[in-house]
Amino acid sequence: MVNRIVAGVDIGNSSTEVAIARIEGETIQFFSQHLVKTTGIKGTVENVKGIRLALQEAAKKAGLDWKQIDLIRLNDAVPVIGDLAMDLISETIITESSMIGHNPDTPGGAGLGIGLTVLIDQIFDVAEEEQDYIAVVPKAFDYEWVANRLNQAEMQGISITGAIVQKDDGVLIYNRLHKKIPIVDEVSLIEKVPLLRLAAVEVALPGHVIRSLSNPYGLSTVFKLDPDQTIQIAPVAKALVGNRSAVVIRTPQGEVVERKIEAGRMILIGLQNRLEVSINDGAETIMNAYEKLGKLLDVQGETGTNVGGMLNGLRQDLAELTGQSPNEISITDFLAVDAGIPTSISGSMAGELSMESGVALASMVKTDRVPIQKVASLLSEEMGIAVEVGGVEAEMAIRGALTTPGTRKPIVILDMGGGSTDAAMMDETGNITSTHLAGAGDMVTMLINSELALGDRELAEKIKKHPLGKVLSLFHMQLEDGTMMFSETPFPSYTFGRVVIREENELIPLTIRASMEKIREIRRSAKRRVFVANALRALKRVSPTGNLKHLSFVAMVGGSALDFEIPQMLTEELGKYGIVAGFANIRGTEGPRNAVATGLVLSSVKHGVTK
């Protein structure tokens, strides 16, 4: 009988888990498991380094040489649910700048033009030597006259590097020019364009997006900005991501007191219809619109707004990672959560902040199978071992969860990781229904980081993972549940009077002014808004009737099931529907960890891949 060593590899957003087992016929003997931090973005070739390390360490634990592994099975990791796919959306106030960011159907030309804005009929009155100009063309001027005027200017040595046009005349003008320039047209409010101010016009080739004006450092290069000014203008660049054309105009300090970049509208595209919903309407309205839509095919963001910048930026980044066109990448799920966003108070003298309301978005992105197949090919090439993509994460997780003592079919699992929340149901006949939703532990970290105005993601991660206390004296501490803890040894002097994060072997004092009660409230609220909301969404999707009351048992797996309060929160919430919930104990030894890696090994027998 064939005797083979098989490794299951679960690539997550935060961690990569491995399980190694010997398979002889249908007998499986697990040897070891290991966990490392995921290298790079989930589902991309950057993961290979972490996978190799995890396999080598797991093999060492099993007393094997990693070269003895006969087959590696990877989960069908979907990129990307991490930081790239999340953001906090609200209106942004910018000062000393104006911008036009839109996608007219037919802008003229391509490239970047920089110069002073000047009305088309005043070019010859204001032109100076060695000065570049951007022509501003109101709708009163005919395109042939405009083209002739620009050609005359060029013949007289006046440098025109770009044009902003009110009517849809960009191509008509461009085709008649002797010297080609980028032209942004269909600018309806052209009377608001400030004149004799430094401006940049950028137009990308068809099928491409602008690169300079959507990059904060591109803007700082164009306008010669210092680091503080670059930070100030960064929201402009963000709002222009994904546009084919744009104009940015720099105005002297104080001339433009403030200008808003709108939060924007989301366009939800379904099987039968499409719905538009404003970010300003809040998370509840957005999620209600999503539920009303039914099956989601894609989400678009209004161009020139913050949500448009976030969603377009996500597509653009993924396109670069996967080698696909941005148009081939769709968003198949999202979670919107109301969030507090710290905002600088204008005129403040000590960095004071106010909390503005916004919406946090986590998105699920669909690409083809190419990225994970590339991971498999590179891993096989580097290690000299056969590698295959094993299957959908939720289905593998449910196979792993069934190794928990006391479980049997039918069974429902909730897999809560760093980037996504998955649910799967296996009925008595072994048929599996699964769903894969955006939003999990990373989104909770983002909310805590924002609502406590920490500006420190690592600290937010620690607040998420550990309980708090307040050191009242060298020997006693008030815990967050109100009880007192006395110590036989003195607490470190630097923790005295401070709210501290209680790690296993260390107390980390917090320097923020918020009380322990306030920090705890924000932490627990963030977990409820993400995990409880997503658990209910996910379970509703896998329930055969769509009714949670028809589910009986749920086993929680994944890294977030190890959290010190999330399982209790879910148990309490699901108890309202009569559901018994608890965290799994994979193979009776691993707790809620290693479900997918274990499932990948187990499923190899079913599919006969080791025979």
Domain boundaries, the chain: 1-78+370-396+593-610, 83-89+261-354, 96-256, 442-513
Does the structure show a pLDDT above 50 at 291?
A: yes
Does the structure show a pLDDT above 50 at 128?
A: yes
Contact 394, 579 (CB under 8 A): no
HSE at residue 456, side-chain half, CA atoms within 13 A, is 11
| Paired residues of 468 in beta bridges | 501
Looking at the chain, the whole-number percentage of residues with pLDDT higher than 70 is 89
- Nearest Cα to Cα of residue 412 among 574, 537, 543: 543
Q: What fold, for 83-89+261-354?
A: Ribosomal Protein L22; Chain A (3.90.470)
Backbone phi, psi, residue 528, to 5°: -65, -45
Q: What pLDDT was estimated at residue 257?
A: 46
Does the structure show a pLDDT above 80 at 592?
A: yes
Domain 96-256, what architecture?
3-Layer(bba) Sandwich (3.50)
Q: Do domains 1-78+370-396+593-610 and 96-256 have the same CATH topology?
A: no
Model confidence at 353, pLDDT cuts 50, 70, 90, reads low
Q: What fold, for 442-513?
A: OB fold (Dihydrolipoamide Acetyltransferase, E2P) (2.40.50)
How high is the mean pLDDT of the chain? 85
Maximal C-alpha separation, the chain: 92
**Model-level pTM?**
0.72
Looking at the chain, the whole-number percentage of residues with pLDDT higher than 90 is 42
HSE at residue 358, side-chain half, CA atoms within 13 A, is 24
Of the listed ranges 37-51, 161-175, 343-357, 522-536, the least confidently predicted one is: 343-357
Q: What pLDDT was estimated at residue 98?
A: 56
Q: What fold, for 1-78+370-396+593-610?
A: Nucleotidyltransferase; domain 5 (3.30.420)
Measured CA to CA, the distance from residue 207 to residue 512 in angstroms comes to 47
Contact 241, 320 (CB under 8 A): no
pLDDT in tens, 544-566: 988 888 888 899 998 888 899 99
